[in-house]
Amino acid sequence: MTNILRAPSQTTKDKITLWLNHLLVLYAFLIPIHNGAKSSLFFTMLALFLYRRDFGFYLKEAFSNRIVQAFLIFYALHAIGMLYTDNIDYGKDQMDRLKYLLFPLVFLSFLDIRFVPRIVLAFLFGMLISIIFSYLVHLQILPYVFSIGKYEVWETFAYSPAPFLAHGEHGVGISFFVGFLLYYILNFKNEEKFKKVIALVGLVFALINMSFIASRTGYMTLVVVIFITIVITYRENIKLLLSSVFLVFIVCLSIYNFSETVNQRVNVAITNFEKGIENKEYYENGSTAQRIGLTIYSIEVIKENFLFGAGTGDHMDLLRAKIPDEEKRLREIAKPHNVYVQIPMQIGIIGLASFFFLIYSLLSYKNTSREKKDIIVILVASTLVFMVGGMFYGTFELPLIVVLISAMIANKEQTITFNNFDKKLFFKYSAFVILFLIIGITR
């Protein structure tokens, strides 16, 4: 017992810091692969973080970061919202989803800047695995439902095969994947040609995958990511900027014309939007019209709880109370599907202001390289788009954002030994991934 309570030596602390960096690489890989495995891995990281002790020393620098402070303020306002909420159970569910806002404080207490490229590549490789499995299901090489004994590994659908993620999340993941590869191709001029060719093949591979994924939020996010990446790259060359934007327009138009899935989903969205606006019959006119109706009724809740909101757990109860009987089936929907109205419903205009302070803190951050600042801009633009579709507090989007943001703002070399990636380390990473996948699937 005495040995457990005794603080570890500095050598042990440095080893733990090294392990935490390696585990964060694996965490980034598992985000698009399996939520249960990712969560189990984080609990391991948290145990190591707690055992390392010296919280004041390790957290002091991370806590002084303005972006970390903005995340914490946004989280704290939701925690305060629990004090005046009646639906405690739903409030706890919301706080559980929001816990990822605390992660940058933990990550920056150990993150070594030398691990940043490895973290980004780990996410890209994890997303590539997810895309490959999507192809395999689409081509019916793998089944739509797959189980090992009593443990379900995935369940997906023919119209939008995304075995590891919900199809909306998969679409957003493809957008990030394409954005990173496109930025690399356009901006890293001195890289070897074969690496650029591999990146280009991966980009095309992902775009084709998007053509049979029925994610309208993914389509919107992808277009914005490509547009922002091009603007960032050619902001000082108007001719190249305009010609590139025109090329993107042609590519998008081609995908719309030749992909039955994209064409159908976009046309249905437009039709549903028009019907929802004209007839004010929301539920019967599809998901787009439903989102319009939920947003309209949400605004009524906001008006009555303008300053502080209705509380972290009460917003859906109050929203359902605003829905008239003729649209009562809208009450069955679990969330407002628009984060821009969900935030003020929960924590008022003050909460919405705190969110935009977070966005401002990210966009105005200067203590990093140009490339990392550009990636932050791409991440922020993407987030602002998919929030319109109600995506932010999920187990894919928010963890991914906080990991990548933490990587982009990390600027310290820890007192640890950093070794280059080799076959030995690859097999170690693979063994740990398999271990946590088994834990995640069977727990």
What digits encode the pLDDT tens for the residues 27-48? Answer: 999 999 999 999 999 999 999 9
- For residue 131, the model assigns a pLDDT of 97
In tens, the pLDDT along 232-280 reads 988 888 877 888 778 777 877 777 777 777 777 777 777 776 766 766 6
Mind spelling out the 3-state secondary structure of the chain? CHHHHCCCCHHHHHHHHHHHHHHHHHHHHHCCCCHHHHHHHHHHHHHHHHHHCCHHHHHHHHHCCHHHHHHHHHHHHHHHHHHHCCCHHHHHHHHHHHHHHHHHHHHCCCCCHHHHHHHHHHHHHHHHHHHHHHHHHHCCCCCCEEEECCEEEEECECCECCCCCCHHHHHHHHHHHHHHHHHHHHHCCCCCHHHHHHHHHHHHHHHHHHCCCCCHHHHHHHHHHHHHHHHHHCCCCHHHHHHHHHHHHHHHHHHHHHCHHHHHHHHHHHHHHHHHHHHCCCHHHHHHHHHHHHHHHHHHHHHHCCCCCCCCCCHHHHHHHHCCHHHHHHHHCCCCCCHHHHHHHHHHHHHHHHHHHHHHHHHCCCCCCHHHHHHHHHHHHHHHHHCCCCCCCCCCHHHHHHHHHHHHHCCCCCCCCCCCCCHHHHHHHHHHHHHHHHHHHHC
- For residue 171, the model assigns a pLDDT of 94
- For residue 253, the model assigns a pLDDT of 79
The average pLDDT across 285-306 equals 87
Give the domain range for residue 307: 64-97+280-364
> Does a structural domain hold residue 162?
no
What's the pLDDT band for 1 if we cut at 50, 70, 90?
very low
Mean pLDDT across the chain: 90
What's the pLDDT band for 101 if we cut at 50, 70, 90?
very high
> Does a structural domain hold residue 301?
yes
> Does a structural domain hold residue 411?
no
- For residue 5, the model assigns a pLDDT of 58
> Does a structural domain hold residue 224?
no
* Count of domains forming the chain: 1
Give the percent of the chain with pLDDT over 70.
Answer: 97
> Does a structural domain hold residue 146?
no
The average pLDDT across 192-211 equals 92
> Does a structural domain hold residue 184?
no
> Does a structural domain hold residue 348?
yes
In tens, the pLDDT along 112-139 reads 999 999 999 999 999 999 999 999 999 9
